[in-house]
């Protein structure tokens, strides 16, 4: 995810009252960090691979995963926001 795209996704998620932040995963690697109500966090699209997926973390430990959403490599900003906002985190 490009930085400007990640910033737009974060802004849109914040408007939906989700705790979303820009995540810097390394040099020129950006994603979206969403804080979940139970204290876990979802790190969306931080691995640089094509498509939208998330790692679910608790206290820095991987505790879950949202698999790549088919077709998400061509999502618009609005589709990306909808996918993140409605994701099921197990």
- CA–CA separation, 60 and 56 (whole Å): 9
pTM as predicted: 0.88
Q: What is the pLDDT of residue 11?
A: 98
pLDDT at 87 over 90: yes
Report pLDDT digits (tens) over 19-75.
Answer: 999 999 777 889 999 999 899 999 998 776 778 999 999 999 999 999 999 999 899
Residues in Cβ contact with 59 at an 8 Å cutoff, skipping those fewer than 6 apart? none
Q: What is the pLDDT of residue 29?
A: 85
Spatial CA neighbour of 88 closest among 28, 47, 19, 42: 42
Residue boundaries of the structural domains of the chain: 3-85
């Amino acid at each position: 995810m490009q930085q400007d795209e990640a910033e737009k996704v974060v802004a849109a998620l914040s408007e939906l009252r989700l705790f979303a932040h820009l995540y810097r995963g390394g040099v020129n690697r950006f994603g979206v960090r969403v804080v979940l109500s139970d204290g876990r966090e979802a790190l969306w699209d931080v691995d640089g691979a094509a498509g939208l997926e998330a790692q679910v973390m608790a206290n820095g430990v991987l505790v879950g995963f949202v698999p790549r959403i088919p077709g998400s490599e061509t999502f618009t900003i609005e589709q990306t926001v909808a996918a993140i906002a409605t994701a099921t985190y197990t």
